[in-house]
Amino acid sequence: MTAAPDTSRYAKGFDMPVRGDTITADRYISQEFMARENQHLWPKVWHLGGMVAELEEEGDYVRHNLGTESVIMIRQADSSIKAFYNSCPHRGNRLVLGEIGGSDKITCGYHGWQFSPAGVLVNVQDPDDFPDGNPCGKVTLTEVRCETWGPFIFYCMDEDVAPLLDWLAPLPERLASYGLDDWIRVMYLTADADFNWKIIRDNFNESYHLPTIHPELSTFINDGLSDTLFEMYETGHNSMWMKGHQATTRNPEFETGEVPAPLDDVARAWGLDPADYNGHTGDIREAIVAAKRRMGPEMGYTNYENMSDQQLVDYFHCTLFPNLTITMSPEQCQILRTEPHPTDPQKCVFHHWVLAPPVAGMKEVITPIGPMPLEWAENRHSVYGDGQSVGYVADQDLSIGTSQQQGLNSRGFKGCILTHQEKRVQRFHELLNDYVTPGLSTDIINSDQLR
Ligand code: FES
Ligand SMILES: [Fe+2]
């Protein structure tokens, strides 16, 4: 496919129409819009709740807080996973306060009611003091739909939403050859941040900001417009292929000059002499494909054999509606998302996870916050801006989040003016409008249309 160098391109069949709804500031700052999202959006989508590997034995649980809601996912006796609202049926106390744990009974901290991992009330104080008799065996926690995809646990609060794999389509299929099932979460960061959740959602739905916000990536990721391929799917999700192991074609001198750092070091790591590519640096990408095919298996990257050449060297950046981002390279899966604050539309919670394949003999992997042991990491929660990095590229994105939130509060802002390459931003907001506008709901992601 050819395109003018300054023109964005969408893969054939994956360029979805948009209406041109104006994206005004109220959706980022108003309580009213937040209330509409709480009522009409969040209960009607699948949420990534945790990792399957966190639940080893019956009774192991992981909790996910989402705005004012909280859900627990628990391993069952038959090894399936059930999810329940994290609320005691006695008088509503939140049951589980920690993020992860395990027990043969869930005990409410208020009056001590106890529930089995299957969510059934099994023990109460004063069982004979109930007008209708002992409630044990009759009262249950309120169940939430729960399904898994690869290493991930998802839950959904709505019965009519499509099954998980239909909802995620076509990404499970597109991501299958990376072999994510046994990858290890080596970095698990969360942070409170002072901007609306959609600000970073928009940021991840465009690469227009790369030359200005992440200029250091330009010698390793080709953000040239005609080299980047965008896709939008009927399910509301998007993806973007960016060529990796190649400097940006926005600066032609990178191609004709010496191999720039860090591409030179990466070339050496794969047994190539960067000097051989001076004057035609773009050819390194293909040479690294060949080197990975040759050397990957002996280095323990058993998953390379199932990957396409494109997957071996490029970045597959998937933005799933409404708030989940999965960025893939052969050696790393980054999960990024922003979630709503319980009460303040001008705040959110940012998540940044890194998963790495279990390469035999490897002790350490490089993550966005530096080397980390190749083992399951515990959560580190911080407040953005307190000096703790949430990943060097993510730090750059979040720094803009704060100043954009401030600018959106200005009377002078009249609505976004978008480029063609930011069409994914436009479509995201139009889908969101469909969800949060009562009576106008044209939810494309519903079970009837997908089944
Ligand atoms: S609210 Fe849970 S036991 Fe009373
Ligand atoms: Fe960014």
Q: Is the Cβ atom of 108 under 6 angstroms away from ligand 1?
A: yes
Q: Which atom of ligand 1 is nearest to the CA of 124?
A: 3
Strand pairing partners for 149?
Answer: 152
Backbone φ and ψ for 299, nearest 5 degrees, come out as -85, 0
Strand pairing partners for 193?
Answer: 348
CATH of domain 46-156: 2.102.10.10
Backbone φ and ψ for 243, nearest 5 degrees, come out as -70, 130
Please provide the DSSP assignment of 34-67 as one string.
HHHIIIIIGGGSEEEEEEGGG--STTEEEEEEET
Pairing of strands 315-320, 324-329: antiparallel
Geometric angle at alpha carbon 411, from 407 and 416, rounded to 5°? 60
Distance of alpha carbon 390 from alpha carbon 396, whole angstroms? 10
pLDDT tens digits, the chain, 451 residues: what are they?
344 556 678 888 899 999 999 999 999 999 999 999 999 999 999 999 999 999 999 999 999 999 999 999 999 999 999 999 999 999 999 999 999 999 999 999 999 999 999 999 999 999 999 999 999 999 999 999 999 999 999 999 999 999 999 999 999 999 999 999 999 999 999 999 999 999 999 999 999 999 999 999 999 999 998 899 999 999 999 999 999 999 999 999 999 999 999 999 999 999 999 999 999 999 999 999 999 999 999 999 999 999 999 999 999 999 999 999 999 999 999 999 999 999 999 999 999 999 999 999 999 999 999 999 999 999 999 999 999 999 999 999 999 999 999 999 999 999 999 999 999 999 999 999 999 997 754 444 443 433 2
Q: What is 9-43+178-245+314-450's CATH topology?
A: Naphthalene 1,2-dioxygenase Alpha Subunit; Chain A, domain 1 (3.90.380)
Q: Which atom of ligand 1 is nearest to the CA of 92?
A: 1
Q: Is the Cβ atom of 115 under 6 angstroms away from ligand 1?
A: no
What separation in Å is there between the alpha carbon of 61 and the centre of ligand 1?
A: 19
CB-based contacts of 173: which residues, under 8 Å, 6+ apart?
Answer: none
Minimum-distance ligand to the CA of 397?
2
Give pLDDT, residue 4: 56
Extents of the domains making up the chain: 9-43+178-245+314-450, 46-156
Q: Is the Cβ atom of 107 under 6 angstroms away from ligand 1?
A: no
Whether the CB-CB separation of 186 and 366 falls below 8 Å is answered with no
Pairing of strands 152-156, 143-149: antiparallel
Predicted-complex ipTM score: 0.98
Give pLDDT, residue 377: 98
Give pLDDT, residue 9: 80
Give pLDDT, residue 11: 87
Minimum-distance ligand to the CA of 401?
2
For residue 40, what is the DSSP state? I
Three-class SS state of 65:
strand
Give pLDDT, residue 225: 87
Distance of alpha carbon 80 from alpha carbon 69, whole angstroms? 23
What separation in Å is there between the alpha carbon of 219 and the centre of ligand 2?
A: 15
For residue 245, what is the DSSP state? S
Q: Is the Cβ atom of 140 under 6 angstroms away from ligand 1?
A: no
Distance of alpha carbon 387 from alpha carbon 385, whole angstroms? 5
Two tokens, residue 380: 């580190």
Minimum-distance ligand to the CA of 108?
1
